Every structure is written in C-alpha cells, then in structure tokens.
A and B are shown apart, each in its own frame.
Chain A
Amino acid sequence: MTINTIKDLLGAEVLCGSESLGKDVHSACGSDMMSDVLAYVKDQAVLLTGLVNAQVIRTAEMMDMLCIVFVRSKKPSQDMLDLAEESGIAVMTTPMRMYDACGTLYSNGLTGSGSTNG
C-alpha cells in the first residue's frame, strides 16, 4: 500500500513529506506509548498515534519509519514538522479515532506484520 493510499483511506491531511506519498509500506502499528514502540516494533513503516510531542518524531526516526499518522485531528507544532522533514518522514493528520483508523488500514490489507501484504 502506498502512503498516498493511507491518506485517501483515512481522509487525512498531509502536513509534511508529500514527496514520499508514492512510497510503498507493508505494515503499521498504533500506540501512544513510545516506550512500547521502541521495545516491540520491528520493521513497521507507519506509526499511528494520538500522542503529540517531539519524541514521537524521534522515535519514528530511530525505528526507520516512513510515515506518522496523528489521529483525532491532532496537529503537531511547526518544530515537530521541521524535525520530521529533516528525517524524511511523511506526517499526516486524520479526524478518525485510533481504533477506526487502524481498522480501516488493516481491513484494506495493511497488517501489523506485513505478512499478508506483498
């Protein structure tokens, strides 16, 4: 699934990194605990979260993620977007809640492990 498809499925607004919309991603994860993301995530390219602070961007950067989706219309600060831009991470915001956003992506083939997605 491309990052652009994620944007369409979630009715999301892209806040930075629109140049990577064509990139392909194979799995995603959702969490508000960056501790858990750092401990349990492996190769997931997309992070869905309701937490908004600079550590979300740095965590995604540490995990080599390609895209962050903020749920419930949350918007990061310009400083956070600058950090994401520097790291080449696409950032978007969707009005959907976490459960609905994850469910929508999952049912369209973007799983947590990437195993059913080519």
Chain B
Amino acid sequence: MMPAELFIPTDSPEAAAPMAEALTFRYDVDGENFTSAGQASVQVKKNLRQLGFDPETIRRVSIAMYEGEINMVIHAGGGTAEVTVEDGCIEIILSDTGPGIANIEQAMQEGFSTAPDNIRSLGFGAGMGLPNMKRYTDYMHIDSVVGEGTTITMKVNY
C-alpha cells in the first residue's frame, strides 16, 4: 500500500524546492472486495497531509479519487490508481480494463446509474459519482472504449 518513495531526501538538490520534481503514488485497486474499496484514497489523503497540503485541496483530491475508486470496484472489477504531485496541480489517473462506458454524456448526468440494487443497499449507486468527481476537480477527462476499459484523468490545482 505505501508508495515506495514518499520523502525527498534532505541532502538532495531537490530539497530546496520539493515540488520541482513530480512525486507519484501508485496503487492497485482490488475489484473483488467492496470492503477494501477506498483504501488507496485514504492513503493518498494521509500522504498529502504529510506533504503539508491545505485541507481543502486534500479534500477535493481525496473525494474525487474515492468516488473513482468505488466506481472501479463496483463497475469495472478493479484497476489501478496513480496520483502525481506536480508543481501547481495534483493529477489523478484511474485506469481499469472493465466493460467501458458506452455513453459518457449520459453517465455524467446526476442520478444516472447502472449499479445493481445490492450496491444501493451498501450506500452507493445514486448516480452522483462522476458528476461529483467533475465538481471537485479543475479538469476531468474520461477515455473509455466499450469492452476494453476506462481511464479517467483528473486534475486539482493548488
């Protein structure tokens, strides 16, 4: 779970400008297990706190990523998450090899959901995830091919 490199060594030349070089966290999101869904987002939240980001930025990144992580688990059988801290923005890339999204415009509408009833009894499937991801981020792009998978890229400026 823990990214291999969280801290830039203090004796490195980058230490004076810690954001000069991009810092990336990668996670596998297990599609078999609803209980563990969201672990990666919780970890990212902790990492961003340690890096000293302001609470509002942390909240926006972690909510958007959490919604996306839940989607990968309930709609796509899992996937991978990559979070990169760049100078001025945090980029989140969520990739899966699930069924893909046939109609992205429809999927982006508030309340649209194909989630089965058992997902609703677990507290999700209100069709608010994708619109929420858009609302909490400064940039969002969905790349999806039916039968191949979905990659969602989001950016939060700070």
In the assembled complex, B78 has its CB within 8 A of some CB on chain A:
no
In the assembled complex, A9 has its CB within 8 A of some CB on chain B:
no
Are the CB atoms of A55 and B122 closer together than 8 Å?
A: yes
Q: Which of A36, A38, A56 has the most CB of B within 10 A?
A: A38
Give chain B interface residues in 92-126, CB to chain A under 8 Å: 120, 122-126
Number of interface residues of B (CB under 8 A): 26
Q: What sequence of 0s and 1s flags, for each residue 49-68 of chain A, a beta carbon within 8 Å of any chain B beta carbon?
A: 00101111011011110000
- Bound CA span A94–B63, Å: 28
Q: What sequence of 0s and 1s flags, for each residue 66-90 of chain A, a beta carbon within 8 Å of any chain B beta carbon?
A: 0000000000000100000001000
Chain A residues with CB below 8 A from B55, complex form: 64
| A38-B66, A39-B132, A63-B63 as given contacts; A51 in contact with B45, CB under 8 Å | no
Closest CB in chain B relative to A89 CB, distance in Å: 12
Q: What sequence of 0s and 1s flags, for each residue 27-51 of chain B, a beta carbon within 8 Å of any chain A beta carbon?
A: 0000000111110011001000000
Chain A residues with CB below 8 A from B141, complex form: none
Closest CB in chain B relative to A8 CB, distance in Å: 28
- Bound CA span A71–B66, Å: 25
- Bound CA span A34–B126, Å: 9
Chain A residues with CB below 8 A from B126, complex form: 33, 35-36, 39
- Bound CA span A62–B58, Å: 9
Are the CB atoms of A62 and B59 closer together than 8 Å?
A: yes
In the assembled complex, B151 has its CB within 8 A of some CB on chain A:
no
| A35-B124, A87-B42 as given contacts; A64 in contact with B59, CB under 8 Å | yes
Q: What sequence of 0s and 1s flags, for each residue 21-57 of chain A, a beta carbon within 8 Å of any chain B beta carbon?
A: 0000000000011111011000000000001011110
Are the CB atoms of B37 and A55 closer together than 8 Å?
A: yes
B123 contact from A32, A61, A62, A79, Cβ within 8 A = A32
Closest CB in chain B relative to A91 CB, distance in Å: 16
A63 contact from B42, B59, B120, Cβ within 8 A = B59
Chain A residues with CB below 8 A from B123, complex form: 32-35, 51, 53, 55-56, 59
B67 contact from A38, A54, A63, A87, Cβ within 8 A = A38
| Chain A: CB-nearest residue to B36 | A54
In the assembled complex, B129 has its CB within 8 A of some CB on chain A:
yes
Chain B residues with CB below 8 A from A53, complex form: 34-35, 122-123
